[in-house]
Chains A and B, each alone.
Chain A
Amino acid sequence: MNVLEVGGMSSAQFSSLAIVTAAVLFLLAFLAHTVEWASLRAVPVRAGGGAASVDDGHDGARLRSDMFARLGLFATLIAAAAQLAGVVFRGIAAQRAPWGNMYEFVTSAMLFAVLAYLVWALRGRMRWLGIFITALIAVGDGLAATVFYVSVGPLVPALHSVWFLIHILAALISGAALNVGGLASIGYLLRARAERKGTVDRGYVARLPRSEVIDTFAYRLHAFAFPVWTFTVAAGAIWAEYAWGRFWGWDPKETWALITWVIYAGYLHARATAGWRGRNAAIIALVGVGSFWFNFIGINLFVTGLHSYAGV
């Protein structure tokens, strides 16, 4: 069954080990980012940010913060490599796309999320997302490795379809984007609150871009994710027509996919009206992420329906 052997391990074992390694590394990266943020407590932003500023006694803290920021990014890079190895070797072990159950879906979605983050971070933008991204993935991988884990197995016939690949790939991409968008919305709320209270000149909020920049960033993510999510639901409906002979049957999973879709449609509409941008839009985005996660975890584990074929 296993085509490849790595260091005396089957590819399935290697994959599991890689995911656990990635989870630990993401946790370490998260801790590094926590230190980075904590170091900045009570450290004022350098006026003008210029080279000619005087030493105000906080340079040590700034250096420490910068070092831990780089450490966090470095750990994230290695963790992402481990995550990639975990997903790829899972696919090799199963001899199919590794998206057949909750474990495989989470690990793949986390891979997409971290890759997107790294592209931004290495281009020098949105590094502030690091603490949120690493926390999300550490939790996601941790859940995957403990609660969702199932051994490698083939798929039930209902999943033998090209629409399976299309549907799940779209779900992974939009899921990753919606999650990062949700994280950005949290960042927005933190920054916007500090701006209202006039405390943006010190501490970690000073590290965050201005709230309008985060708002725009979050909007772009959602604007990208929404058509992909629409396509996910549509591809799922087409697949359901092939597999179950109806394109829409109000299965709990379908219902919650639609609820999630409607919430994000509300987000885009709300944002288009002047009064609802910013804080309200961010809150809607977080409700949307909540709906997405409930659809993924709650519906699979607690509600019986057609999508509960694979257990976890």
Chain B
Amino acid sequence: MAILEIKNVSKFFGGLAANADVSFEVAQGSIMGLIGPNGAGKTTLFNCITGYYEPSRGEVIFKGNRMNGLQPDRVCKLGMARTWQKVRPLAKMSVLDNVMVGALCRTNSLKAAREIAMEQLQVVRMDGKAAFLAGGLPIGERKKLEMARVLATKPELLLLDEVMGGLNQSESEEIVLLILDIKSRGITQMVIEHDMKTIMRISDRIVVLTSGEKLTEGTPQEVVSNQAVIDAYLGESHS
């Protein structure tokens, strides 16, 4: 069953189509990879799905509800959470407080929020840093903090925008294991990622965008053997 349906979504900025007529479905419990060259419209699509932009045309359907025009806070309450390509720690708050802000989405009690937050910090193995100021963390830990913070909002669908960008090999591996762990807990994920090896390894299906349009969609094997994809995407970096 599809938890998320993207139906003919277009987003125009002036005359520029950042997304043009994009359609696909994300199956419940799966990991959907979203790839494409720079400027292909991946983050724009995330913004359309999570309420930061309203699609110019088309529909976003989440759990059977039409999401167009809903504000990001409503989207989050309905069970869809996102991370940011450029991390956004609440710098002057502690790591624990950051995650608590996420947890307060589901509870009004600080005590309950603190418990949820500590659980999520354990999931990303950052419980030892709970008292640190978020602004002082190195990039790898900021990314993990962001993961803990969105997990604390108890999402059913998680949209990860380049969570491995700027990380070294071992940090990336940690995130990959985390993503697989999140999947095993039944949370659906959509992942934007540039590293092909990683995206091939974690995705159940992959959507390829170029210049705002959907080029193709399929299993990782289908996508890498697709000549159009090789030309448009891999061709650039492997020529």
Do the two chains bind? no
